[in-house]
Structure 1
Amino acid sequence: MQTNFTSEQLQDPGVAESEKILRKCVHCGFCTATCPTYVTLGNELDSPRGRIYLIKDMLENDRPADKEVVTHIDRCLSCLACVTTCPSGVDYMHLVDHARVHIEKTYRRPLADRLIRNMLAFVLPYPSRFRWALKASALGRPFIPLFKAIRPARPIAAMLSLAPQSVPEPDRSAPPVPTISPRGRVAILAGCAQSVLDPGINAAARRLLARAGIEIAAAEGEGCCGALVHHMGREDDSLAAARRNVDAWTGLIDNGGLDAILITTSGCGTTIKDYGHMLRLDPDYAAKAAKVSALARDITEYLGAIELPEPAAIGKLTIAYHAACSLQHGQKVTVQPKALLRNAGFTVREPAEGHLCCGSAGTYNIMQPEISAKLRDRKVRNIERTKPQVIAAGNIGCITQIGSGTGIPVVHTVELLDWAYGGPRPRQLDGVEPLPSEQAVEAAG
């Protein structure tokens, strides 16, 4: 793609980077076939190629964002399926990140939009605030039909609909001690939303790692990864979150070392693996952030690289594996989760259109509820056609989103693995009866 930026414009590092990305695009349109919003809406401006044209025009002419640009950029899920598809290596992720920062700096959103975005940024990254908000959501549930009838209030209706009926208690258990001589040392991101919605996920990861002989180090001062505000274009807030976590993990790296920084929420993993890029211009953090990003691993990446004990005889269970976009497209982790589940004794089925997003995408299912619901329903139909007993996923957003559209239990991959290797049966599986395993049949015979 030909660009016409001035030398003065290119003095801005963000513009210079975006210009290099834009020049790689050859207008081929391969990205349109795998873009969830284009597949759903059929509008060229809601495809990566269309958004690239809008971003180019906005940046090249050095003008503030307008309503049209904001509408179509806001509809982007940042699922990154286009990055997987692109034959030219267009770095759409960093291009749309820059566009969102430009929008945040130059466009004044309608009042209702500003209020909802400010509320989400104030609540979701902070577990105590989020827990309080979830408990208070019961008061708003009777008003969901009213909020749905008022267009500016539809995000509130979506938020209340997604809130769980009850909030689990925080996990206050001490990290388990490895049952064999330590074979490695890792940190695990505690996170924000997941720690409130399902603290059992990280608890399962800790148990499984301890049984495999992995020591788990606690990072003092660690917090939200910053993904939520990052995708809102709130650059200062997202970089502050990144610096805080880099400091926390660097403390562990410098005092005893770390083999990996493990993430059980794949959306967070994509952002943490990008810390090196996000902080590349900060002389005090560039090197430290690059080291942190190099150590970041999805939990299934790490488990796939270490030796696990023999699985327990828990019986055969048929699982539909949902590949979270942030895992398959953002991190390119595609083989390990399925291989781990199969090695643990589960029967794994892969739904059609596995590359398409479920519509969760951070706060997308709140801010774009109509498009999100269409994507969720499409995803659920494809999953249910595989006739699974359980759905496995590696991202809390996907688990919540898919769970809102089906009665099939949705369980984090690591919880299933923990159970298969001697941990407790996930509570979501109450009433689900696995078929007898081969070992159990042999023992009974």
Structure 2
Amino acid sequence: MPTDRVQYKYREGNLARSEPNKLKPENLRSEEMIINLGPQHPSTHGVLRLEVLMDGEIVNEVVPHIGYLHRCFEKHAENLPYNQVIPFVDRLDYVAAMSNEHIYAMGVERMLGIENQIPKRVEYVRVLMAELNRIASHFIAIGTYGMDIGAFSPFFWLMRDREHILRLLEWASGARLLYNYIWIGGLFYDVPVGFEDRCREFVKYIKPKLKELETVLISNKIFIDRTANVGVLPLDLAVNAGVTGPILRASGLRFDLRRVDGYSVYPELDFDIPIGEGKMGQVGDCWDRTYVRYLELYESLKIVEQCLDKLTGEHTRTRDFDPQALVPKKIRPKAQDFYIRGEIPKGELGFFFRADGRSDIPFRCKCRSCSFVNLSVLPEISKGILVADLIAIIGSIDVVMGEVDR
């Protein structure tokens, strides 16, 4: 860097000036600037500020600042009984609340040693709800991403189609976003009569719409030019940074906890794990991350259809299932340290519990949120790019700030 330019360095997480040289009028065009991107920018959902060191339109350094949506999840969990934590679990990744509930409830059930006693119908309903919610989450990811870089129509189409899923989930749980439906030991209630038929109607309706989405957005030349070869995340960096979910798979690693850990009834279901192949650019670029999410929509639909076959076949409704039949009123796991993880739409969600064996309140609870970890690679893949590409990279990571700032 020329000696007549302002020098910057990291200081306690911020970009701070050190030893500034005297600015000369003839050198103003070459001076670096610190620009605050957000928190008002639409692509950051109002709660993420990026401190960007820029040389003209070139991004030299990026420092993400979080802390505008703190939910105090861990401290809430450490002051409430295990079964009363589920409404707070919903508020982590709030566009995929069913997946959060599924993993949390499964973790407490394993601590209690009742995981194998959960009825199969309950497990298939849980997976059905989680996969419907995964589709809705990916609709938001792809739709808002297209809008971030200038494609408005796909956003409206996907919000229209997502509404069908929200109505199904509201029919079953009574809520559109924060469900409190999957309980420790079972469910709030079995799915309504006719729910399976409505789900089949949705699957039949949405498949042609996905073909339209690929034609209008995914294969659009402008979209490809904006996303291919942009924000390339090498596989070694992704693994070392702990990145999970579609971002990791877009970098070429076929890693999905539904297959790796084989929890719930996923081992009994047939579905594929799409990975990035660099069809339009390099493996692990923004286009690959979007395309992997698009392909996962089809895989989730396959899982939904298989669950519906099970729920209307060998695991039909017999009577209302009462979670209290398995779970005592006071949930007191034996003293232990326990970690549970599962695959939500954005990656690995994990919960660490420390139980003292005497109380029905966790002594310690820690959430391992995938959005927080995935956001950590932003400074590494944003060096030397244009500022317009920075917006494309942020959108391709698909973060939900309720899960970043817990």
Provide TM-score, normalisation by structure 2: 0.27
Q: Which has the higher strand share?
A: 2
- Which of structures 1 and 2 has the larger relative contact order (alpha carbons within 8 angstroms, sep 6+)? 2
Structure holding more helix per residue: 1
